[in-house]
Amino acid sequence: MAPHTQQLTRPAVRLRGLTRSFEGRTVLDGLDLDLPAGQFTALLGHSGSGKSTLLRAIAGIDHGVAGSGTLTAPERVSVVFQDSRLLPWRRVLPNVLLGLDGKDAEERGRAALAEVGLAGRERAWPSELSGGEAQRAALARSLVREPELLLADEPFGALDALTRIKMHGLLRQLWERHRPSVLLVTHDVDEAIVLADRVLVLSRGRIEVDLAVEREGGSHGEYRARLLHALGVTDAGAAAPGPPLRP
Ligand SMILES: Nc1ncnc2c1ncn2[C@@H]1O[C@H](COP(=O)(O)OP(=O)(O)O)[C@@H](O)[C@H]1O
Ligand SMILES: [Mg+2]
């Protein structure tokens, strides 16, 4: 077997005609999507457009939701949410190791904590962490499972602006080092453009915009204007040059 070649050619996620409804109301409506292995994709959409519904479907944690269509996703999937979901009665390292076994688990957990900048905090309680640190711990908990696909549902939504910028750098760095496929849900157009290589807009139950972000020669301002337009936001400043693409 040539796992590396396979990883490069096989899409990590493949959705065809994915439909999900709540009480007769269709939220995802025959949605098609391929996520290539190793790609960093961001997903935008209005509140209530079905972003979390889509993520839960891909994560396989939407049992009981009415739906149809076909869905292929990797075996090892990690999910990060807006709140860290650390168990308050466990210290940081046991939280990161939750459900893991094997004799090298602890070592891997410590390494993951060091990677997210939390070396030395292994024995801290979740209540002793700042919001940013808690999200770092949540990232370490995902990372230690060596996911082929990382699903993140507005993971920085509750953080202050400066912490957020630091977390952007960290997430991008982790992605570059481990190369999982990433699907990042965000409501922040700039966050999407800065972090992702591809930006999707979910609207009316389908992927309405599928934008490739070119690092070389791409214009943040143009991407921004296009995405805001797709989201129905008219902003006089939207076509302004904007910040440089990942300085
Ligand atoms: N468990 C549920 N039961 C009933 N309605 C739901 C449930 N989950 C989501 N919905 C509805 O589906 C729509 C999409 O929700 P969601 O996927 O959370 O949107 P987003 O994450 O884009 O804000 C919303 O109208 C929401 O009220
Ligand atoms: Mg949501």
Domain 87-146 has CATH 1.20.1580.10: yes
> Which of the listed residues 52, 55, 185, 207 should we mutate to test ligand 1's pocket, taking the one with most ligand atoms within 8 A of CB?
52
186 lines ligand 1 (CB under 6 A): no
When pLDDT is cut at 50, 70 and 90, the band that residue 240 belongs to is low
Phi, psi angles (nearest 5°) of residue 114: -65, -40
> Which of the listed residues 26, 53, 204 should we mutate to test ligand 1's pocket, taking the one with most ligand atoms within 8 A of CB?
53
Residue ranges of domains in the chain: 87-146
CA of 29 to the centre of ligand 1 (A): 13
d(CA 113, CA 126): 14
pLDDT in tens, 84-132: 999 999 999 999 999 888 889 999 999 999 999 999 999 999 999 999 9
Partners of residue 152 on adjacent β-strands: 80, 184
Residue 211 has pLDDT above 70, yes or no: yes
Q: Which of 16-30, 33-47, 227-241 has the lowest mean pLDDT?
A: 227-241
pLDDT on residue 216: 87
Residue 6 has pLDDT above 90, yes or no: no
164 lines ligand 1 (CB under 6 A): no
84 lines ligand 1 (CB under 6 A): no
pLDDT in tens, 39-84: 999 999 999 999 999 999 999 999 989 999 999 999 999 999 999 9
Q: Are 157 and 151 in contact (CB under 8 A)?
A: no
155 lines ligand 1 (CB under 6 A): no
Q: If you search the block for the tokens 């060091």, which residue do you land on?
A: 114
When pLDDT is cut at 50, 70 and 90, the band that residue 236 belongs to is low
As a whole number, mean pLDDT of residues 4-27 equals 82
For helices 131-143 and 161-178, the axis angle rounded to 10 degrees is 10
Q: Which of 98-102, 212-216, 221-225, 236-240 has the lowest mean pLDDT?
A: 236-240
pLDDT in tens, 133-152: 999 999 999 999 999 999 99
Residue 178 has pLDDT above 60, yes or no: yes
> Which of the listed residues 19, 22, 79, 200 should we mutate to test ligand 1's pocket, taking the one with most ligand atoms within 8 A of CB?
22
45 lines ligand 1 (CB under 6 A): yes
Residue 210 CA to chain centroid, in angstroms? 16
